[in-house]
Structure 1
Amino acid sequence: MIPVRDIVLVHGGFVDGSGWRGVYDELTWDGLRVHIVQNPTRSLADDIRTTRRVLDRLDGPAVLVGHSYGGAVISEAGHHPNVTSLVYVTGFAPDRGESVDALIPGGPPPPILPPVEGFLLLDRERFPGWFAADLPDQVAAFMADSQVPWGVDALRGPVAEPAWRHRPSWYLLATEDRMIPPPAQRRMAERAGSTVVEVIGSHAVHISQPAAVADLIRQVAAG
């Protein structure tokens, strides 16, 4: 496998691409070209198109990385001819016809507030403990107050044909995640045939452990 220079990072729900800053710094320091997708998270179909537009601009192969809901996005956008491999960072990995909504596991549900005009938010007070438990209080509070409303149509949008059936994939499992519990992550990773790497971290592991996330992406890019 020829080493890959381009890395495309796709964020999840309730947040935007700025959460990838630590991973971006790690990878660009190594000379990799990193591209941050800023999805509006209104619908899965729209976010797939937005991600594909970023891939269209590349002049060579790329590793496509998705965090959380971004995993659903890369599962469809990963069919793009520039994509050589997929990396799920505590992400949803839907199969044919599945949506993120269908993959949310049983047990105590995340503190998602009732939809308003078709968009969802997490309860501000409970955001840190569920999404960002291993981040400093001030950082977690800022994330809670700067949430991006997540469209119900994005949550419920089905994946037609998962790219993990046609591309090699890796899965970074966050052992302290409450949004997507580790057993659910493991089930999706095993179903996708992904190589699994475990990291001690919350759902915001890409922010709290950027070096560990970047190290996995770096290894995938190097082939």
Structure 2
Amino acid sequence: MKKKTWFAILAALLFMGATYAQGPVKNIVLVHGAFADGSGWEAVYKILKAKGYNVSVVGNPNTGLADDVAATHRVLDRQSGPALLVGHSYGGAIITEAGNHPKVAGLFYIAAFVPDANETLLKLLQSGPPAPNSGILPPDEHGYIWYDVKKYHSGFCADLPKEQAEFLADSQIPVSASVFGSSFANPAWKSKPSWYIVATEDQTIPPDAERFMAKRAGAKVTEIKASHLVFMSKPKAVSDVIETAVAAISK
């Protein structure tokens, strides 16, 4: 193929990527984190759907960063136009990588990790004092990390009913320990607008760590008094802020 033809194809692809980040945004893609699954987004999903948004939930397997990014890309590929990509907890690491997808117009972090270039989640966790009530356990014999069921309610979702917390603990999806050693070559937040919700009562990721990561990324910050699962305990408040972000990137 002639060199001019290659240049023409490249220019067309770049133009397509640029157009995805312009115009009204009606697509919202939600990415869960570790020790949970996509069903936790149900209340936020219903609120946003009722407002007329096209909402998709990624069922990432938590088997490794590359796998989880690939799962997110498959959902993004299905979007007809630009999307706001939303990630909770470890989902923040996923969207930091997956957010380079050309259909992503903005990033929205909820009590989430926001790694920098060449930084690992392990380094982030070790950069400050741990949350005193965190139930994150060491890797098991299969190389997966679970959340201590005895601490799941108090450490992960203290503002949810006890019975709901017990079910979430017993149905949790562990995360591959490998994700904590993965680094990020090109964080999407360096080139795309971002928002961050700090969960001020978080006992899994310390609120001060959330504030640090949000500030470093230049994210627009909203603080909500809630546990780590803020999107489940305060779905209306979270949905309102998501709508604010959608409005901002739709201008």
The alignment's TM-score, normalised by the length of structure 1, stands at: 0.97
Distance in 2 (CA, whole Å) between partners of 1:76 and 1:157 is 11
The whole-number CA distance in structure 1 between the counterparts of 2:71 and 2:185 is: 17
110, 130, 138: which is aligned to 2:155?
130
| Deviation sequence 1:50-86 (CA, Å, 0-9, x none) | 1011111111000000000000000011011100000
Q: Aligned to 1:221, what secondary structure does the other structure show? A: helix
Match of 2:90 among 69, 72, 76: 69
**2:119 aligned with 1:94:** no
Q: Which runs of 5+ in 1 are unaligned?
A: none
CA contact (8 A) 1:2 1:222 kept: no
Shift of 1:114: 2.6
Runs of 4+ in 1 over 4 A off after TM superposition: none
Aligned to 1:85: 106
Mapped partners of 1:209, 1:156: distance in 2: 31
Report deviation, 1:94: 0.1
Kept in 2: contact 1:172–1:199 (CA 8 A):
yes
Q: Are 2:238 and 1:217 equivalent residues in the alignment?
A: no
Aligned to 1:4: 25
Match of 1:187 in 2: 212
Unaligned runs of 5+ in 2: 1-21
Q: 2:169 aligns with which of 126, 135, 144?
A: 144
Hey, what's the Cα distance between the residues in 1 that align with 2:182 and 2:60? 15
Q: State the structure with bigger RCO (CA 8 A, min sep 6), 1 or 2.
A: 1
Distance (whole Å) between structure 2 residues aligned to residue 191 and residue 112 of structure 1: 25
Q: Which has the higher helix share?
A: 2
Instruction: Give the AA of the match of 1:207.
Output: M
Give secondary structure in 1 for the equivalent of 2:238. helix
Report the RMSD for the aligned CA atoms in angstroms: 1.1
Identify the residue that residue 106 of structure 1 maps to in structure 2.
129
Alpha-carbon distance, 1:98 to partner: 1.4
Determine if the alignment matches structure 1 residue 33 to structure 2 residue 58.
no
Q: Which residue of 2 aligns with 1:60?
A: 81
- Identity of counterpart residues, as a percentage? 50
Using the TM superposition, give the Cα deviation of residue 220 of structure 1 relative to its aligned residue in structure 2, in angstroms: 1.2
Task: Give the Å deviation of 1:216.
Answer: 0.9
What secondary structure sits across from 2:67 in the alignment?
helix
Contact 1:127-1:140 within 8 A present in 2 as well: yes
1:164 aligns with 2:189: yes
Deviation at 1:109, TM superposition (A): 7.0
Q: Tell me the amino acid that sits aligned with residue 139 of structure 2.
A: P
